[in-house]
Amino acid sequence: MLSPILFALAAAATPDTVAVQTAVATEPYALLAPYQTEERNFNGKTFDLKDALADNERLATADVPTPLTLRKGDALGGGDYAALRVIKFRLTAERFTKVKLNVKTLANHKVFVDGTDHTGKDILLTPGEKTVTMLALTKKEDKDSFNVSIIGEHASALTVNAEGKHPYSMADMSLGENIYSVSLSRKGTYLITSYYNTKPDGSGVYRTVLTETKSGRELRRVEGVPTWKWLTNREAFYFTRNAAKGKELVTYDPATGREEIMAQGLPDGSYTLSPNEDYIIINKSTDGDKDKTPDLKKLRQPDDRMPGWRNRNSLYKYDFKTHALTRLTFGEQSVWLNDISSDGRSLLLSFNRFDPTKAPFDRKTLVRMDVATAKVDTLLCDTTFISNAKFTPDGTALLISASPAAFGGIGAEVKAGQTPQAFDYRLFLYDIAAKKATPLLPGFAPSVGSYLWAKGDGNIYFKATDGCNESLFRLNPKTLRVEKIQLPVSVVESFSISSDERTPRLAFKGQTGERAREMFLCTLSSATPKCTRIGEVNFDRIAAEAAIGTCHDWAFKSSRGDSINGFYFLPPNFDAAKKYPLLVYYYGGCTPTAKQLEFIYPLQVFAAQGYVVYVCEPSGCIGYGQEFAARHVGTWGKESGDDIIEGTKAFLAEHPYVDAKRVGCMGASYGGFMTQYLQTRTNIFAAAVSHAGISNIASYWGGGYWGYSYGECAQYGSYPWNNPDMYVKQSPLFNADKIHTPLLLLHGTVDTNVPTTESQQLFNALRILGREVSYVQVDGENHVIGNFKKRMTWQSVIFAWFAKYLKGEPEWWNELYPENK
């Protein structure tokens, strides 16, 4: 909390005045008198030249030339005509500052800050840079001049027209051009790239571009994100569109530029075209039934409380030759298409059954259907811990991603007494004839994500959570040799491989801790390919004016003898002689925090605001091996909390430029639980933020949409009735009296994962205990704050909280939430 001295200083502060010495401006635009048929218009109004200000507000956001430099005192009036000018200057704030613009010698003007009208209003400057644009109207008889100053309590902390780059901001991270998806054709001849441009209001404009990979030549461009999918056996793609005769399916050949309509009048749904292009499989959803009693609902299963749970997905086949639509699946369960065999003769289908009397509750069945006869072979029945499955290229086996606990635990590499973590996926090869599963990645630490089996070179390529990285790997299924593909990014966000080439090409989008929005193309002739930047997004141009902090790896040895990895960000223009506040961040759920520039928790933006940011990857997260991940199960924070506390203390000891009295922590979901839990274990934090955190493990288990099912991972086999100690002793609510850290609780009001009662309970308890706590709800938002404007405001609340308690700057928080209001 702020000391009495700081409060006294704040009360005694007086406004500062900073003069704007220079600005850039356009040449004066002459405003000619209009031709008037009468003195007054139809509404009885006489002509007013000042209307030109309102008429030209668009110039505040337009890209207009500013060739002139204005200096304080320069005359603006005179000339033969009245004139309009656009005047611009920049304000860079190190802290939150509320100021007024004092324009002494310019009678007619409007003021805009980053395009928003602030004429006659206070200007709220948050850390970072803002552009002030003035529309100035001068008459020939006026004696106007450029004489502008900034007045505010902390105006002296502002820099006008700062030289060099501005601190990396939320706008830098969130706005502008980005890459949505990338997809190579089967032989790598062509590339489909979808882009989006986020505008200041949060809206996005999408476009999709087809290019030739060898030359980079553009072949086709459309607005929006069409459903372009590459065909299996030729260099062409297909998509759907609405037409006069209903929805139609169309193929497009880039070599000839010809379109061919394959089918018309198709029903709604999603489509998968067969390899031989003789049929499509349609996923079609049907609304579930309702109870007979109006306004009452008898739940059939725990998940029946979820909207849409009773809806079911069915599969249909549309034959291009006969034009017949045939239903392929029917029953109580939703059935999904996992894959089509390379010869097009077989479908791999799956459905799940829920049985609350058996752990795990969710059980998957995989069947192979003969396309011609619709007869099925059940390949795996009521199998547990399986995530996904695909046919191998020859169709004799399945490539399956699953937890190490799948298939009786044949892939498990955990200690005695441990349960493999359910989300720590590995690859298995399942021989259909022999009905036998074989682990393909023994001793492999990273956790498998998306994958494909390339026909051209016979290798399996997959993305995996590789510690704090998301990396690409190549697996030889014959030798089980695994190679990590060395790429110029720490996080491969998405990738596409020309799977039919003997030496495949790879297109991928990725980030590092200091760069983002980059797309590359390479040939996978070795594990260290030469990568070439491609595409229409240029990060160097986008971030040319932004100062981005540096990112560094860091690890420490825990008291258990483990090496606990992590990384940290330093502020731009870092000075080791200074003392900086520290923010500590850690994973939510089971996934480690990825080392990337653009992230929902804007760690680099915090660094730009003057924080050192330390990311700890504690026990329990995937990506560091099965035993490490299994520590998540049945512990609810014990070992993870130990690692975070020890890591924070070790970081403070090793980095003298961090102020040990100004350390904050934050996390979301399970990370929000961890924030709350840590405050019951230690007093090293001066402020904490918990978004959608779990305060009562038992109430979350029963009340959250994902509660009991996530519990199968987090506390497998433990229930409130057979292990009450864990549910009580590890819950922050039952240890609320131990919390003394100022704590900010945040929650979306319609969070279906972690109910708002989880924050409300702890808020009630800490209020009763007289502790420093605030609870802010985000109206209409779910577990993740998705609405752009609300997310920006939500983030400002977090910035303001830490500014108050870690920087001794309460003004931002007080502006958001004045006392007693």
What local confidence, expressed as pLDDT, does residue 62 receive?
A: 87
Q: Of 611, 501, 579, nearest to 186 (Cα)?
A: 501
Quick: pLDDT tens for 639-671. 999 999 999 999 999 999 999 999 999 999 999
Q: Of 652, 802, 814, nearest to 742 (Cα)?
A: 802
Instruction: List the single range of 121-125, 221-225, 446-450, 710-714 with lowest mean pLDDT.
Output: 710-714
Average pLDDT value for residue range 522-546: 97
Highest mean pLDDT pick, 28-32, 33-37, 814-818: 814-818
Quick: pLDDT tens for 466-489. 999 999 999 999 999 999 999 999
Average pLDDT value for residue range 241-260: 93
> Which residue type occupies 525?
S
> Mean pLDDT, the chain, as a whole number?
93
How far apart (Å, rounded) are the C-alpha atoms in residues 707 and 698? Answer: 9
Instruction: List the single range of 252-256, 631-635, 792-796 with lowest mean pLDDT.
Output: 631-635
What local confidence, expressed as pLDDT, does residue 78 receive?
A: 66
Would you state the structure tokens that stand for residue 670, as one six-digit string?
């399970």
pLDDT confidence tier of residue 107, bands split at 50, 70 and 90: confident
How far apart (Å, rounded) are the C-alpha atoms in residues 765 and 773? Answer: 10
Quick: pLDDT tens for 342-394. 999 999 999 999 888 888 889 999 999 999 999 999 999 999 999 999 999 99
Q: Of 202, 180, 182, nearest to 191 (Cα)?
A: 182
Contacts of 376 (CB under 8 A, 6+ apart): 349, 367, 368, 369, 370
683-700 b/e (C-beta count within 10 Å ≥ 16 → b): ebbbbbbbbbbbbbbbbb
Q: Of 501, 669, 507, nearest to 593 (Cα)?
A: 669
Would you state the structure tokens that stand for residue 209, as one six-digit string?
């571009």
How far apart (Å, rounded) are the C-alpha atoms in residues 233 and 255? Answer: 15
Average pLDDT value for residue range 809-813: 96
* Beta pairing partners, 626: none
Highest mean pLDDT pick, 4-13, 116-125, 795-804: 795-804
What local confidence, expressed as pLDDT, does residue 284 receive?
A: 93
How many Cβ atoms sit within 10 Å of the Cβ of residue 781? 20
What local confidence, expressed as pLDDT, does residue 7 receive?
A: 39
What local confidence, expressed as pLDDT, does residue 501 receive?
A: 95
How far apart (Å, rounded) are the C-alpha atoms in residues 429 and 392? Answer: 9
Higher pLDDT, 170 or 35: 170
Place of tokens 């590995």: 426
Average pLDDT value for residue range 708-720: 87
What local confidence, expressed as pLDDT, does residue 14 receive?
A: 66
* Beta pairing partners, 635: none
What local confidence, expressed as pLDDT, does residue 820 receive?
A: 56
Quick: pLDDT tens for 590-607. 899 999 999 999 999 999
Q: Would the pLDDT of 405 be above 80?
A: yes
Helix (H, G, I), strand (E, B) or coil at 189: coil
User: How does DSSP classify residue 40?
Assistant: B
Q: Of 751, 810, 816, 753, nearest to 781 (Cα)?
A: 751
Contacts of 244 (CB under 8 A, 6+ apart): none
Quick: pLDDT tens for 2-26. 444 343 334 445 688 999 999 999 9
The 3 state secondary structure assigned to 670-697 is HHHHHHHHHHCCCCCCCEEEEECCCCCH
Average pLDDT value for residue range 752-759: 96
Average pLDDT value for residue range 382-411: 96
